[in-house]
Structure 1
Amino acid sequence: MARPPRFDTDQLLDAAVRLAAEGGPVAVTMAAVAQAVGAPSGSVYHRFAGRTALLAEVWLRTVERFQEGYFAALAEASVPDAERRPGPEAARAAACAAARHVVAWSRAHSDEATLLLYGAKDFGRPDWSEEHIRRADSGNARVFASIGTLAADLGATDDPGRDRVVLALIDLPLSLVRRHLRAGEPLPPHAEDLAEECTAALLR
């Protein structure tokens, strides 16, 4: 019976996340990840073809995990109950839930949230494989399609209206998170409420 591998992919990516949070993308190397988990370098090369693949995977896993909860928040709050018809009210509830998710997820996953202060380009996107680029583009397209649907439900059909929705759902909660993370401060207890209040005010 074959012995299970001592170091799995998630362990290696977890170490890469911590390295990125502490020292930025430049700190994520094959040798540094191996050292962080006490593994031989061969264990890292066995799972990732090279540093470019490692950087792509650590970025994409982080983004995809964030997006999973973001879509769930949008979907759960936008489904009307038996007494409520779908429309602007449900859309506003979904927007507020999504804004809260940005803050709550960042609070629960501070290393991943710090990693996302960078961009895909910082993690080597120009050199990614076609499959990694496809995954990134697919996730981004899904986000903006969901926001477009929500904007339509809110009646935001012109450019200023759509920009207001993007500001409310993405830019505003991210700016709240970013300010504290860059200062090395924990998110305050009222951060979720503040994100929701500001989003609601923009979409009122």
Structure 2
Amino acid sequence: MSVILYARVSTTDQTIEHQETQARRAGFEIDGVVSDHGTSGLSTKLAERSEGKRLYDMLRKGDTLVVRWVDRLGRNYQDVCDVIREFMRKGITIRTVINNMTFDGATTDPIQQAVRDALIAFMAATAQAQAEATKEAQKAGIAHAKTKTVKYRGRKPTYDRDQFQLVRDMLTNGAGASAIAKASKLTRQTVLRIKSEPGQAEAALLAWGL
């Protein structure tokens, strides 16, 4: 039985290495990493991605698939639900690094199945909502950045693109500022600033080419 980490990055500012490091720090013993670069989870299904196809071929009954969060599998509600349920039917366990969630097909109790399926649906819906919110924040950030010249781009952000995305992910999942600060290695004040002004936080990254 193998433990496979699937990592996906949609921009050059994100890194596969960060997702792997985060998983190992959370206590996951990873046997292999499958990754897709420059791929949008909102417009491209997992089965249509080059390495996503390989993931379907290599995973077997009893294996565990690890992802940072369900949004790595997709950003579309129906796609995420379908992917998780298909893997469960094949006897594959899905685990998330953020929130340490586990999804498998082990239970036969209808009530437990209903609770599990409702949670999957909720997380899938959250993934799509987050993707749409991120697009709006990026638009706001670009618009804000265009109003500034390089001369007045302000102080360099104390966070990078990966930390910014982690903060956004954990905020979407309802995590508190203190927990996010610990996970992202940022100050609580920085987390709260990103939470209150995501557009400006995005603009600061863009202004500095981050």
TM-score (norm 2): 0.29
Higher Cα Rg: structure 1 or 2?
1
What TM-score, normalized by structure 1, do the two folds share? Answer: 0.29
